């Protein structure tokens, strides 16, 4: 028998050590709000560095076309630099620019939006809408806190309780968070100690938190059944703080409330300008910043300007955040959502608010929608609020539906710019756009744009 051929994988060349610290002049911001500098002609993206600053930084990654780093000393500070509140800001991925004054943050985000529209769609915005801003701390009403128990080098185990590090799946251990709503933020030390005290902590993977106008909730994801002693510890915490307690032993459908024992498993938020109260489950998608959300909904309705006899379409409608306010103004509104549970939540919210001129449908908006009954009629106005991937697949249908005006709410300026170019090719002209500070201290750029059909 002939000997079997032997295969040898080529040896990988050893990774070159990263250079030591270097100094650089920061020229501008990247679209993820890192400082951009050049060292020996090569671009370096530097965390915690602001445009106009001279910094000393350490390299964190070397790539073929650019390098990455983190500032260790600010040799010449920007006038817009401020002292961050959070001691974890250098490592925690929750905040990218707490060292930049809030007014400068939103101004930078507006420049990013305008640059993306000009660069990728060739569009200059005729009318720049004033930014929507609110209190930059204590605003976040939804968050996911990771829980890991790891082995120490010298033996024993260590609990890590916090958010992901910058550009990493590793967790940063936290003792405080200044962007999280106080209803939960003030409980971080106690929650951390509670997890540490539990016998089954090694099976805990995350803690989902949600805060409504009426109450706060935590959802504990645990991979093994919760023991009686641990269950008693969590129930004591809930009864003492008034925070609703849910356990989630499997996927989202397994989440169930164990305190309080009575009442519907819902939190609520109000849109007072429209005399609406919306109910949501703690694991539902909602806008995390209620103060900005209320301004955003008001602006979207004003810009879309639906009239009493008109039909309005709300695509990617979620649980009715825009749909129900629009129904207060329009003759009829159709909301379409890809997730069936959210669509049902929209129906429940419509019924709970006494609205009978709105209907909700489930549909995959990345696929052909022409077979759906709701898509066979025309619409006077359309609102889009897509995920980060944008709304590219559904855009050609908007022309067929005949809407005179489109309001596009975006959480990603790159896909908004791409889609704005597509809408221009379909006969829609961008008339105004502006940013919203939905996520202060982060690199997330939320925006809104208005498109008019060209006669």
Would you please indicate which residues are annotated as catalytic (active-site) residues?
A: 411
Taking alpha carbons only, the member of 356, 352, 350 closest to residue 331 is: 356
Distances (CA, A) of 53 to 57, 80, 81, 238: 12, 10, 9, 47
pLDDT band at 9 (very low <50, low <70, confident <90, very high): low
Which percentage of the chain shows pLDDT scores above 90?
Answer: 91
Tokens of 395: 């855009």
Given a cut of 80, whether residue 12 has pLDDT beyond it is no
Residue found under tokens 């445009």: 51
Question: In terms of DSSP bridges, do strands 358-362 and 332-337 run parallel, antiparallel, or are they unpaired?
Answer: parallel
Q: Do domains 116-134+289-453 and 142-267 have the same CATH topology?
A: no
230-237's contacts with Cβ under 8 Å and 24+ in sequence apart are: 230/198, 230/199, 230/200, 231/258, 233/194, 233/197, 233/198, 234/194, 234/198, 234/258, 235/259, 237/190, 237/191, 237/194
Taking alpha carbons only, the member of 28, 426, 102, 33 closest to residue 292 is: 102
Residue found under tokens 């961008």: 430
Give per-residue pLDDT as tens, 242-272: 999 999 999 999 999 999 999 999 999 999 9
Residue found under tokens 């933020």: 185
3-state secondary structure of 450: strand
Distances (CA, A) of 89 to 127, 138, 181, 313, 383: 35, 15, 17, 41, 36
- Dist CA 327 CA 233 (whole Å): 45
pLDDT for residue 377:
85
Tokens of 267: 């939190």
What is 116-134+289-453's CATH topology?
Rossmann fold (3.40.50)
- Dist CA 35 CA 81 (whole Å): 13
- The whole-number average pLDDT for the span 421-426 is 97
164: phi then psi, degrees, rounded to nearest 5: -65, 150
pLDDT, averaged across the chain: 94
pLDDT for residue 20:
81
Query: Domain 142-267 is in which class?
Result: mainly beta
Domain 20-81 listed as CATH 2.40.50.140: yes
Tokens of 372: 């759906």
Domain ranges for the chain, please list them: 20-81, 116-134+289-453, 142-267
Given a cut of 80, whether residue 180 has pLDDT beyond it is yes
Given a cut of 60, whether residue 323 has pLDDT beyond it is yes
What is the four-CA torsion angle of 101, 102, 106, 108, rounded to 10 degrees? 10
Strands (E) located in 223-303: 244-248, 256-259, 267-271, 276-280
Which is it for the CA torsion 179, 180, 183, 184, positive or negative? Answer: negative
Distance of CA 111 to the CA centre of its chain: 20
């Amino acid at each position: 028998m002939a000997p079997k051929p032997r295969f040898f994988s080529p040896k990988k060349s050893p990774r070159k050590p990263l250079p030591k610290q270097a100094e650089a002049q920061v020229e501008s911001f990247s679209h993820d709000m890192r400082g951009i500098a050049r060292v020996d002609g090569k671009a370096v993206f530097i965390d915690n560095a602001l445009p106009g600053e001279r910094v000393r930084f350490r390299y964190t990654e070397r790539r073929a076309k650019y390098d990455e780093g983190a500032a260790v000393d600010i040799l010449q500070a920007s006038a817009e630099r401020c002292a961050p509140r959070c001691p974890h800001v250098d490592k925690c991925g929750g905040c990218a620019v707490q060292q930049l004054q809030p007014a400068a943050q939103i101004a930078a985000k507006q420049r990013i939006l305008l640059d993306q529209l000009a660069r990728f769609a060739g569009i200059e915005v005729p009318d720049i809408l004033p930014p929507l801003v609110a209190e930059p701390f204590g605003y976040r009403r939804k968050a996911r806190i990771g829980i890991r128990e790891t082995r120490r080098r010298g033996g024993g185990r260590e609990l890590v309780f916090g958010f992901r590090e910058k550009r990493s799946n590793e967790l940063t251990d936290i003792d405080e968070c200044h962007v999280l709503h106080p209803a939960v933020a003030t409980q971080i030390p106690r929650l951390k100690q509670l997890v540490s005290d539990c016998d089954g902590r090694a099976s805990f993977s995350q803690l989902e938190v949600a805060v409504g106008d009426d109450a706060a909730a935590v959802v504990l994801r645990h991979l093994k059944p919760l023991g009686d002693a641990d269950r008693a510890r969590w129930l004591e915490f809930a009864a003492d703080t008034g925070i609703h307690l849910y356990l989630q032993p499997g996927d989202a459908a397994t989440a169930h409330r164990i305190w309080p024992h009575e009442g519907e498993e819902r939190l609520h938020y109000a849109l007072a300008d429209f005399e609406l109260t919306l109910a949501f489950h703690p694991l539902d998608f909602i806008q995390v910043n209620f103060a900005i959300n209320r301004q955003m909904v008001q602006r979207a309705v004003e810009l879309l300007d639906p009239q009493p006899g008109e039909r309005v379409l709300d695509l990617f409608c979620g649980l009715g955040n825009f749909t129900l306010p629009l129904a207060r103004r329009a003759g009829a509104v159709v909301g379409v959502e890809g997730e069936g549970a959210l669509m049902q939540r929209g129906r429940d919210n419509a019924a709970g608010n006494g609205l009978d001129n709105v209907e909700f449908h489930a549909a995959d908006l990345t696929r052909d929608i022409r077979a759906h009954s709701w898509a066979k009629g025309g619409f006077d106005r359309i609102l889009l609020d897509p995920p980060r991937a944008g709304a590219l697949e559904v855009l050609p249908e908007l022309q067929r539906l005949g809407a005179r005006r489109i309001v596009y709410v975006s959480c990603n300026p790159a896909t908004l710019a791409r889609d704005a170019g597509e809408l221009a090719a379909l006969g829609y002209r961008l008339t105004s756009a502006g940013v919203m500070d939905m996520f202060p201290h982060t690199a997330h750029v939320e925006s809104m744009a208005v498109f008019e059909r060209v006669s």
